[in-house]
Every structure is written in C-alpha cells, then in structure tokens.
Amino acid sequence: MGKLLILFLNFLFTSAFCFCQVTRTQSFTCDCNNKKVKDSLIKKYLENNDMYDYNSLKWQLYCDSLITLCPNIAVAYQLKAIPYIKYGDYAAAFSLENKAVELEPKSWTAYRGFLKCIFTKDYEAAIIDFKNAQLLTPNNYEMDHTYLFYMGLCNLELCNYSLAEENFRQSILIETGGNLNNQSHVHCNTFLYTGILYYEMNNNDKAIEALLKCLSIYKDHPDANYYLAMLYKKENNDSLKNKYLLIAKQSKLKGYNIGEDNFYYAYYPHQITLYEIEKELKK
C-alpha cells in the first residue's frame, strides 16, 4: 500500500514535470544533479500544503517519494528524520541524519551536532560535528546560536570548564561582531550558560555578572533567576536567594521558559523545572 502511494505521488508530480522522464521500463528518472531540477522537486514534494504534520503518513510518503526519485537530496532525509528524533527512535533518526550530512555536509553537519548536543546528550560527538561545521562554514549559527555556543554547552556538561569558558568567550565575540562593547546582540542564553559555567567553577562574581546580563535581556528567565538564587545560597544570602527563587517560581507559573524553540522536546543542559524551584524553597 505504501509503495503504491509512493508510486502515485511520483506519477502525480513527475508526469507534469518537464525535467523528469518516463523510461522504457516505465520508471521515472530525473536529472538529479541539476540544481534547478532539485529545487523544483523540493518545492513540489517538501514545500507543499500537505507537509505540515511530521507525524502524518503523508509526511513520510512525500519524503520517501522524493528519495526514490532523487536519492541525493539531503533535506528529504533530514525532514524524514524529524518524527524519529522527537520520539526517541535514534537508530532511525541518525541513519537518516548521517545520510543528509554525507550528501550536504555544509548544510547539515551543525544541525546533527545540535541534535546530539540537545536531544541525545552525546556531547563528545556533538563537539566533533561542531568542529567540522566550524571548518565548513566558520562562525555560523544553528538554531539561533553560534557553533561555539554549543561547543561551550557540551564542554560545560563534560566538565571541561576552561574549554567551555573559551567557547563562550568566542561565541560572545562572534555575536557582538567583534565589538565587545556592543553586547545588545548577544543571546540571553549565552550569558545564562556563561553564568552557569562560572557557578560550577565557583567563580561567583563572574557568575552573578553573567546572569544579571541575561536577566537584563529577559527578566522573567526562570533558569537565570534560579541559578542566581543558587549563587546567593552559596554566599549564605537567604534574602536574595529567596527573592530570586520566588521570581523563578512566578515566571514558571506564568509560563515563561528557557526561551529556546526546542524546549518542548528536550530539556536543555542544566535546565530546571518548577519541581527543583519548589524543592529549594522548601529547604
């Protein structure tokens, strides 16, 4: 049934498509190395009105149809992998992601690194991908953050603190365009994780400075308020500890979150929930 539908979708599009031909053996062939052909196929198969629900059968059918027609279109593999990565099927997801990277390393290496960093907590492997991405497309961004930011996150989680410190420093340099006096373009979570890094390093002054910078951008940031409270806890300042814990709690109850698009799918490193805030308040 699935194969018939793929054939139908192939027929539907290829019959009206001048770059693809029906061969003597009744199979369809396209000039898959022609950029115009690839772009047209992507538009037809992957950017149509049916491609809105990645959990639908149609989503997989369109991806499969395009892969059958032109197995060298990387984005088809990347899109096909989405439901798998979001529901814990890593064997299926990464065989597809690997294919996408193999076909178009410049486009998909950093994305795979992002998945390994945020989704599968595979920090060593994520760093390898981001190092490669940095060579392929230097100082670029993935999901709102520099590659250096993600390397910083991974090194933070691996307790490679001096490496993480250097990564975040370089990320801020890229985000400010080289002008450290202009920090208005720095993502608040670059400051959040710089603060968490210094918190872990017991460098309280630098941690407080970074977290306050984060809060100056996003004052209801629950995680920044929580870690600020934890810093004041270290300093035995109960008044400020409770102040920031209560702000963190209120922020959570009002629905504020870490400010990352993918927080629905996975907890970010060091991310806290209402449970941890309330547990601290009860102490």
* 159 in contact with another protein (CB under 8 A): no
The one among 95, 139, 162, 216 contacting another protein by CB under 8 A: 95
* 122 in contact with another protein (CB under 8 A): yes
The values of phi and psi at residue 30, to 5°, are: -130, 160
Q: Residue 147 CB, nearest distance to another protein (Å)?
A: 21
CA nearest neighbour of 213 among 197, 190, 191, 193: 191
Of 1 and 91, the one with the shorter C-beta distance to another protein is 91
Distance, CA of 59 to CA of 262 (rounded, Å)? 20
* 88 in contact with another protein (CB under 8 A): yes
The one among 94, 191, 193, 218 contacting another protein by CB under 8 A: 94
Beta bridge mates, 29 = 21
The one among 55, 139, 162, 182 contacting another protein by CB under 8 A: 55
**3-class SS shares of the chain: helix, strand, coil, % to 5:** 70, 5, 30
* 11 in contact with another protein (CB under 8 A): no
Distance, CA of 98 to CA of 117 (rounded, Å)? 15
Contacts (Cβ under 8 Å, ≥6 apart) of 265 = 86, 119
| Stretch binding another protein (CB under 8 A), from 32-40, 99-107, 170-178, 266-274 | 266-274
Q: State whether the Cα torsion 137-140-145-148 is positive or negative.
A: positive
Say if residues 189 and 259 touch (Cβ distance below 8 Å).
yes
* 206 in contact with another protein (CB under 8 A): no
Q: Residue 47 CB, nearest distance to another protein (Å)?
A: 23
| Stretch binding another protein (CB under 8 A), from 64-72, 204-212, 227-235, 273-281 | 273-281
Tell me the site size for another protein, rule CB under 8 A: 25
The tokens describing 274, both together, are 């209402």
* 278 in contact with another protein (CB under 8 A): no
Residues contributing to the site for another protein (CB under 8 A): 55, 86-91, 93-95, 119-122, 264-267, 270-276
